[in-house]
Each structure stands twice: as C-alpha cells, then as structure tokens.
C-alpha cells in the first residue's frame, strides 16, 4: 500500500525517510521506562533514501543507510510527513551516525553492568578518549532507568512523589534546551547534572530510611546505590554531606581520593 506513496515522495540528496517503530514501555530487563522518556529514543525503519549529497567535486556520496534497515532516531529534529494517513519522518543521513556514537556509549555502560554490576570501578571507567560530559550524561540516564526498578518496588504513599522525581529528571535530561545533542554536552549543561543527581538521590535515601528491606534486597542485586555514590563523588556532582545513605564509607572515600589525585 505504502509503495505508491513513496514513489510520490522520494527524499532529496542525503535525506532519509523513516517510519517510527512503536515505543517500548518496558526494557528487556523488565525495567519500566518513565513516561517522559518514552518516545524519546526511538527506533525507526528506513523506507526510502535520497540519492546522496554531492561532494565538492560534484561526486555523489551515497547515503549510509539502506531501505529496510533499522535506525535509532535522535530525540529532536526530523520533518514529519503524513502519507496515506501514516506518519513518516524525513532526516538528514548524518543524524544516524550521531545516534550510533550515542548508542555505543550507552551499550558500553550497559555491557559492563551486565558483566558484573559489583565491579563499579570498571563500570565508571570511561574508554580512552571518551568525552567526559557525554560519559556523565549517559551514566545519569542509566541511573534513571535503573532507579525505576527500585521505585516500582516501593509500594508507599511516596510513590507518586518518586515517579514525579524520576519523570522530572528524565525530562531535564531529555530537554532540548539544556541537552540539544547527546554527542557533545555543553559545559553549562554539565552543571545541571548535579541537580539531577541531588533529586534522584532522594529515592535512595527514602528507600533506605523507610523501606530498608527493599533497599537492601535491591542493592544486593544491583549495587545501584553503591555505584551512584561512587559516581557522584568521582565527578564531584554532590557534596559528601548530602550523601546520607551510609554506603561503605571508607571504601568510597579511599577510591575517590585515589582517583582524584591521578
């Protein structure tokens, strides 16, 4: 059916037409994705490609993706086009390369967590040449994702507040104003990461002080609060006074003083 419409709409030059896949609300690991982050990083299928942009000498540079390929869409941009009552989006080819590098950081982090979530030093160790702003940003996104796993276990009147906190954090991280690109994070926006950390830390402290058993069970399984504590100390995102959950205090102190001198 759609074939006809595409013949009428062939993307120009290096532009690509894609159809979005439905948003997933639960990750493979069963982690709920907060509402605000749904639909932000979206998969799409390439349905038509342009013939390629012309280089300086007039040679045609072919588009890097093919029809039928799955691509990840950046959070913002793209032009919506309605064909036969279905929404399609028109993107410049280069957007997909940008997403590839974002995805690579995300996958690298998740891979290390899956391999051994207790090996926090390894998880927080950036690969060589990794941009530090992007590294911190992607870790924070990952924390928000995993904190949902803890939040759903807390059946208490504070749950709405918890959801609100996570949604707010996700919203800020997805903000086009502060984080227009996930490939290079502006220095002024890196400063925002501290406030996201302080906000979502309240979920750890609430769980620890009011739902100790749930906190301990989750922590034994994920080492999430350990990782978060080391993360914010390594990158000076929170002051020590605010870290009120007593997590292996000496161990954290030692590793941080060692790292900051290096």
Cα–Cα distance list, 225 to 108, 193, 216, 219 (Å): 20, 17, 10, 7
Select the span of 28-36, 39-47, 158-166, 253-261 touching Zn ion (CB under 5 A): 158-166
203 binds Zn ion (CB under 5 A): no
Nearest distance in Å: CB 217, Zn ion: 15
Q: Read off φ and ψ for residue 41, nearest 5 degrees.
A: -100, 110
> Minimum distance between the CB of residue 204 and Zn ion, rounded to whole angstroms?
12
Q: State yes or no: residue 158 binds Zn ion (CB under 5 A).
A: yes
The answer to whether residue 156 forms part of the interface with Zn ion (CB under 5 A) is yes
State the number of binding residues for Zn ion (CB under 5 A). Answer: 3
**From CA 118, how far away is CA 115, in angstroms rounded?**
9
Q: For the CB of residue 156, give the shortest distance to Zn ion in the complex, in Å.
A: 3
Terminal Cα distance for the chain, rounded:
61
Three-state DSSP class for residue 202: helix
DSSP string, 102-145: HHHHHHHHHHHHHH-TT-HHHHH-PPTT--HHHHHHHHHHHHHH
Q: Give the residue closest to Zn ion by C-beta.
A: 156
Stretch 206-235 residues interacting with Zn ion (CB under 5 A): 210
Secondary structure, 3-state, 61-74: ECCCCCCCCEEEEC
Pairing of strands 60-61, 70-73: unpaired
Closest distance to Zn ion from the beta carbon of 225 (Å)? 16
Q: Which stretch binds Zn ion (CB under 5 A): 18-26, 35-43, 138-146, 153-161?
A: 153-161
Q: Of the ranges 42-50, 71-79, 88-96, 157-165, which one interacts with Zn ion (CB under 5 A)?
A: 157-165
C-beta of 186 vs 210, nearer to Zn ion: 210
Q: Which of residues 103 and 156 has its CB atom nearest to Zn ion in the complex?
A: 156
Angle, alpha carbons 30-150-239 (nearest 5°): 130
Footprint on this chain of Zn ion (rule: CB under 5 A) = 156, 158, 210
């Amino acid at each position: 059916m759609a074939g006809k419409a595409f013949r009428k709409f062939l993307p120009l030059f290096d532009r690509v037409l894609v159809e979005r896949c439905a948003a997933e609300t639960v990750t493979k690991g069963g982690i709920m994705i907060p509402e605000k982050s749904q639909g932000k990083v979206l998969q799409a299928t390439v349905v038509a490609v342009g013939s390629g942009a012309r280089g300086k000498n007039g040679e045609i540079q072919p588009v890097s993706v093919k029809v039928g390929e799955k691509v990840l869409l950046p959070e913002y941009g793209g032009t919506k086009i309605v064909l036969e009552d279905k929404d399609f989006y028109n993107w410049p080819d280069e957007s997909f390369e940008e997403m590839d590098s974002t995805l690579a950081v995300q996958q690298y982090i998740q891979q290390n967590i899956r391999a051994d979530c207790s090996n926090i030093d390894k998880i927080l160790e950036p690969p060589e040449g990794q941009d530090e702003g992007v590294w911190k940003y992607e870790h924070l996104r990952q924390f928000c994702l995993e904190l949902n796993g803890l939040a759903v276990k807390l059946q208490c009147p504070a749950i709405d507040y918890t959801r609100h906190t996570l949604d707010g954090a996700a919203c800020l991280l997805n903000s086009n104003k502060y984080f227009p690109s996930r490939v290079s994070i502006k220095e002024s926006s890196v400063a925002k990461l501290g406030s996201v950390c302080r906000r979502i830390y309240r979920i750890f402290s609430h769980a620890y002080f009011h739902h100790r058993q749930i906190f301990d069970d989750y922590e034994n399984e994920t080492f999430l609060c350990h990782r978060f504590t080391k993360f914010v100390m390594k990158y000076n995102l929170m002051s020590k006074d605010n870290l009120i959950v007593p997590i292996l205090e000496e161990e954290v102190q030692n590793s941080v003083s060692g790292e900051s001198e290096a």
